[in-house]
Amino acid sequence: MPTTDYLVSIGLEVHVQLKTQSKMFCSCPVRFGEAPNTLVCPICLGLPGALPKLNAGAIEMTVLAGQLLGCSTPEVVKWDRKNYFYADMPKNYQLSQYDLPLCLGGEVPLYELAYPKDAQKSIVHPGKVVRLTRIHLEEDVAKSTHHATYTLVDFNRSGTALMEIVSEPELESAEETVAYLNSLRQILVYSGVSDADMEKGQLRCDVNVSVRPKGQEKLGTKIELKNLNSISAVRRALNYEIDRQIGEVEAGRPIQQATWRWNDEVGQTEPMRSKEDAHDYRYFPEPDLLPVRTAPFVERARAIRPELPHEKVARFEASYQISHYDASVLAADRALADWFEQAVQGSTAPKKVANWVINNLLAELNARSIGIADCPVSPTTLAALVELVESGKVSNNQGKEIFALLFERPQDSPEVIAKELGFEPADSSEIEAIIDEVIASNAGPVAEVMGGNEKAANFLVGQVMKRSKGKANPKQVTEMILLRLRPS
Amino acid sequence: MNISELTISQLRSAYTAGDITPVEALRALAGEIDARDPGIGAYLSYDLDRALVDAQSADLSQPLGGIPILLKDLISAKGHPLSCASKFLENTYTAPYDATVVRKLREAGAIPFGRANMDEFAMGSTNENSAIKLCRNPHDLERVPGGSSGGSAAAVAANLAIASLGSDTGGSIRQPASHCGVVGLKPSYGRVSRYGLAAFASSLDQCGPITKTVADTARLLEVIAGGCDYDSTCISTPVPRYSEEIGKDITGLRIGLPTEYFAEGLDPAIRERIESAMKTMESLGATIIPVSLPHTEYVVAIYYIIATAEASSNLARIDGVRYGRRAEASDLTELYEKSRGEGFGSEVKRRILFGTHVLSSGYYDAYYLRAQKARTLIRQDFESAFSRVDLIAAPVSPTPPVKIGEAEADPLRMYLADIYTISANLTGICALSVPCGTVSVEGKPLPVGLQLLGKPFGEVELLRAAHAYEQARG
């Protein structure tokens, strides 16, 4: 059967580091890049006698993430011990949540712009929403660095708060999976719950993937993929693995449930361990922590819940009369959206401001490889520039020149720069003189305009612009010409 | 004056009267330990120099100013070794922080002095599971002191310590206190912080005093009790002034005697001691009322499932990776297997295996979950009894202390001997052992303890009754 005769089911377990000030069960600060084993205490080192001390901030953040994703939170949640031995786990059990997690259900909308660029034109299920199974909170393990004959363990990360987001197996392609990860990331970054940078390990994911022939109800046997360290690795690994699984099934070799590992250098998946090697985690309720009543956390999260990307898109479309696409671009990054909204405040031309941000500002930031947070030009400055252009005091092209200069001299106002560049609107008597000349020497078009064909004025305007060396404002010139030639 | 014979109250008076200074007291105590402890084995170690530094700056106006307190070797005290009487941690681990109880002791002016022998990781009831050294009963050196806080009880009984802190998971304070003829209290669960106590079974462990008198226990409890930011199971209800409350009389007190406890298996001589103690209680104005604890036959099974399950997980951190004895190994799995195989004694291994089994997939529901449900039945038994009485009286141990070596052959018999003490841990109530005379075994008088059990956070009534009894007994 050709590849298109198979259905693909992909489910994700995404681990997200929360942006809490301190660790999940102790007061050690959460910071990255510090000297190894300097952000540690008896609790996160698992010393004899140490007990966990719950960080309420982590619960609040997880409940907030849950609310943004439409999850419900049980009235009471508890903690469980997941028992297994590994050198990066100081207690040899991990505090996690087994059967009463902080969030149940929920969903992630797949944003159009979250798909890979090359796939945005051919989205199979536009507006698709992927359901979540649950979100639970757990503690992160330490970081191991393996060397030839030894392994070093840095416990600075040990005990930091980690949220695990489990999706239903509803994704149907590598591209949808990328869209899922990007959309989820966007929501988490938006809400300030996490920086969710995959490259920095702040967002890690394991992917379950299976294939089955079209028409088959029951899901195929799943393979869990590990060692996916970037979104592009997720896409490549999935495309490889889907092809591999279809190849196996085609060849009459049924898939055996197992964990495979993505080898990024070679560009293929490799077997890691079979189902039989799976741990028996011996979960049981953590006796050192009391169950938690969630009501106060739910209430608090409700109070601080920010607007979500797709909610912002809808509002931008309605409030600023901009296209869905433009609104999506602006809302994709919360900082950019905030910047835009500041610029638009008090502006008479929000749509123009949007155009300036999308067409000029983003290009300029890209060229400089900086983010909106580091943009030297302030939103009010851009707003002033747009006003300058819209009022006809400078032309669009002049505006662009000013804009480029503003990046070098962000403290100057657009008006000051316009003046320096000699972009003052030309003396109207000077323009009048040029118009006189142009009218005198272009009898044909003049006659057409006088005959009612206003479009013919464009040629005359062009002539005036040429003679004024771009100093004149085309809008004004048009008005002046029409005023004189329009049949009354 | 032999200072090691003094109670906390007496030593405080001696300090106040200027008869002796804390430095002199510590030197004298160390002298006694050097001279007599080799024959008993109550101490694993002590650090006189460190204690003398504390003693020099002791603030005698504090409630326990200058009083040396012996700590069971599972209680973390900054800079002190902590071995849990295990080869695994012996000489390889020094606590870098104070347990909350130790912090509170220090704040009250006390001086942590000495590490008490115990059963390895608190697993045992004879102290014979100490992997470091044998501890003997001061009343009969051929016999065990009880356990697991055997060193603490033996040291106090032998006048080698003024007072001690032990821990009680299933009777580990009360049973050695009974066997050694001293007072031992297991506070209500949540009354005293567990932070800094190497955990055996988290939902059962409590730290408590072992002292020469009920008044000393009250005084120590007053200091160590109270809420703790580092133990979320510790409750911050105000701490009563136990030492002032104990003097009130007990007229009208209703004491329940569980019929199930006075059945088969209880040594008749011990039964006679308890009955005689009840007569004394009656003479003090108490009423004795028979009560029933119908699920008593299940407590040992419930206890050993829950305690070992929690222990199997709690002891997982003792792995030789970050601290403790690490075996030579060629990979991580071998490192765990060899370190843990060589580091743990056989009773500890037995319980880890048992606990791992009851938590395993496919067995969890049948064992652990069922035991937790049954635990509720035990709690209901006690709630029902406490609706009719203020306190419950019981034996501590069904037999006097056994001879050294006798218990080893039959661990199951030893487990069954915990029957009177483990319910207090399963239900979280408070309970203590107070000496109620002796029984003669092979011509030697051996101490017997009367166990009193009180409602959760009912330490005031419990200590008051024990104090009244102690005074009346003379």
pLDDT in tens, A273-298: 887 777 899 999 999 999 999 999 99
Ranges of H-type helices in A31-92: 56-68
Distance (Å, whole) CA A62 – CA A423: 54
Query: A80 with A97: CB under 8 angstroms?
Result: yes
Q: Tell me the CA distances in angstroms from A42 to A86, B95, B190, one per residue in order.
A: 18, 9, 21
Element (H, E) at A226: strand A223-228
- Residue B248: phi and psi, rounded to 5, are -70, 155
Distance (Å, whole) CA A10 – CA A237: 12
Residues 6+ apart with CB under 8 A from A315: A307
Mean predicted confidence (pLDDT) in A374-394: 88
User: Do the bridges between strand B68-72 and strand B206-211 make them parallel or antiparallel, or are there none, so unpaired?
Assistant: unpaired
With an 8 Å Cβ cutoff, are A49 and B76 in contact? yes
Instruction: For residue B318, give the 3-state DSSP assignment.
Output: coil
Mean predicted confidence (pLDDT) in B319-345: 95
Size of interface A-B (CB pairs under 8 A): 98
A433: confidence class by pLDDT, cuts 50, 70, 90: confident
Eight-class DSSP state of A76: E
Query: A285 with A78: CB under 8 angstroms?
Result: yes
Residues 6+ apart with CB under 8 A from B295: B374, B377, B378, B381
Is the pLDDT at A424 greater than 70? The verdict is no
Eight-class DSSP state of B19: S
Distance (Å, whole) CA B216 – CA A221: 67
| Residue A180, both tokens | 């899922």
Mean predicted confidence (pLDDT) in A131-148: 96
pLDDT at A478: 85
Query: B454 with B383: CB under 8 angstroms?
Result: no
Ranges of H-type helices in B135-232: 150-157, 174-180, 214-224
Is the pLDDT at A425 greater than 70? The verdict is no
Q: Give domain limits for chain B.
A: 1-474
pLDDT at A1: 65
| Residue B205, both tokens | 């462990």
Residues 6+ apart with CB under 8 A from B385: B256, B258, B291, B292, B293, B392
- Cβ burial of B316 (10 Å; 0-12, 13-18, 19+) is buried
Chosen for mutation from A85, A139, A141, A152 (greatest number of chain B CBs closer than 10 Å) is A85
pLDDT at A159: 97
Percentage, residues of chain A above pLDDT 90:
69
| Residue B21, both tokens | 């200074």
Query: B389 with B452: CB under 8 angstroms?
Result: no
- Cβ burial of B289 (10 Å; 0-12, 13-18, 19+) is middle
Q: Determine the distance from the C-alpha atom of residue B13 to the mean position of all C-alpha atoms in its chain, rounded to a whole number.
A: 27
Short-list B22, B16, B11, B231, CA closest to B112: B22
pLDDT at A395: 80
> Residue B84, by phi and psi: left (phi above 0), alpha (psi -120 to 50) or beta?
left
The CATH code of domain B1-474 reads 3.90.1300.10
Mean predicted confidence (pLDDT) in B213-229: 98
Tell me what the pLDDT averaged over chain B comes to: 96
Tell me what the pLDDT averaged over chain A comes to: 92
| Residue B426, both tokens | 């399963």
Name chain B contacts of A288, Cβ cutoff 8 Å: 199, 202, 231-233
Per-residue DSSP letters for A376-409?
A: SS-HHHHHHHHHHHHTTSS-HHHHHHHHHHHHH-
- Cβ burial of B435 (10 Å; 0-12, 13-18, 19+) is buried
Name chain B contacts of A98, Cβ cutoff 8 Å: none
Query: B28 with B66: CB under 8 angstroms?
Result: no
- Cβ burial of B323 (10 Å; 0-12, 13-18, 19+) is buried
A447: confidence class by pLDDT, cuts 50, 70, 90: confident
The neighbour count for residue B283, using CB atoms within 10 Å, is 9
Q: Determine the distance from the C-alpha atom of residue B28 to the mean position of all C-alpha atoms in its chain, rounded to a whole number.
A: 26
Closest CB to B196 among A49, A288, A290? A49
Residues 6+ apart with CB under 8 A from B429: B188, B382, B423, B453, B454, B455, B456, B458
- Cβ burial of A201 (10 Å; 0-12, 13-18, 19+) is middle
A458: confidence class by pLDDT, cuts 50, 70, 90: confident
Q: Which of A254-258, A414-418, B296-300, B430-434 bottoms out in mean pLDDT, i.e. has the lowest?
A: A414-418
Eight-class DSSP state of B366: I
Chosen for mutation from A23, A82, A273, A282 (greatest number of chain B CBs closer than 10 Å) is A282
pLDDT in tens, B139-172: 999 999 999 999 999 999 999 999 999 999 999 9
Distance (Å, whole) CA A278 – CA A271: 14
Burial per residue of A35-70, b for 16 or more beta-carbon CB atoms within 10 angstroms, e otherwise: eeeebbbbbbbbbbbbbbbbbebbbbbbbbbbbbbb
Instruction: For residue A107, give the 3-state DSSP assignment.
Output: strand
- Fill in the amino acid letter for B252: G
Is the pLDDT at A3 greater than 80? The verdict is no
pLDDT in tens, B54-94: 999 999 999 999 999 999 999 999 999 999 999 999 999 99
- Residue B15: phi and psi, rounded to 5, are -65, -50
Percentage, residues of chain B above pLDDT 70:
100
Beta bridge partners of A203: A16
User: Helices then strands (H, E): number in chain B?
Assistant: 16, 11
Closest CB to B360 among A47, A90, A280? A280
Residues 6+ apart with CB under 8 A from A370: none
With an 8 Å Cβ cutoff, are A47 and B318 in contact? no
| Residue B193, both tokens | 């912080």
Mean predicted confidence (pLDDT) in B193-213: 98
Mean predicted confidence (pLDDT) in B342-354: 97
Query: B147 with B177: CB under 8 angstroms?
Result: no
Name chain B contacts of A49, Cβ cutoff 8 Å: 74-76, 82, 95, 99, 194-199
pLDDT in tens, A12-66: 999 999 999 999 999 999 998 899 999 999 999 999 999 999 999 999 999 999 9
Strand blocks (E) in B364-461? 391-395, 430-441, 444-454
Mean predicted confidence (pLDDT) in B104-130: 97
pLDDT in tens, B304-330: 999 999 999 999 999 999 999 999 999
User: Do the bridges between strand B254-258 and strand B287-291 make them parallel or antiparallel, or are there none, so unpaired?
Assistant: parallel
Is the pLDDT at B1 greater than 70? The verdict is no
Active site residues of B: 72, 148, 172
Q: Residue A46's closest chain B neighbor by CA?
A: B317
Is the pLDDT at A449 greater than 90? The verdict is no
pLDDT in tens, B395-436: 999 999 999 999 877 777 788 889 999 999 999 999 999 999
Eight-class DSSP state of A33: S
Short-list A79, A129, A133, A75, CA closest to A104: A133
pLDDT at A443: 86
pLDDT at A426: 59
Distance (Å, whole) CA A23 – CA A173: 36
- Fill in the amino acid letter for B136: R
Query: B46 with B29: CB under 8 angstroms?
Result: no
Distance (Å, whole) CA B416 – CA B432: 19
With an 8 Å Cβ cutoff, are A48 and B84 in contact? yes
Name chain B contacts of A54, Cβ cutoff 8 Å: 232
Instruction: For residue B112, give the 3-state DSSP assignment.
Output: strand
Is the pLDDT at A269 greater than 70? The verdict is yes
Instruction: State the pTM of this model.
Output: 0.88
Query: Which domains, ranges and CATH numbers included, belong to chain A?
Result: 3-300 (no CATH), 307-420 (no CATH), 428-485 (1.10.10.410)
User: Do the bridges between strand A203-213 and strand A161-167 make them parallel or antiparallel, or are there none, so unpaired?
Assistant: unpaired
Name chain A contacts of B359, Cβ cutoff 8 Å: 83, 282, 284
Is the pLDDT at A343 greater than 70? The verdict is yes
Element (H, E) at B291: strand B287-291
Chosen for mutation from A25, A27, A28, A47 (greatest number of chain B CBs closer than 10 Å) is A47
Q: Determine the distance from the C-alpha atom of residue A281 to the mean position of all C-alpha atoms in its chain, rounded to a whole number.
A: 35
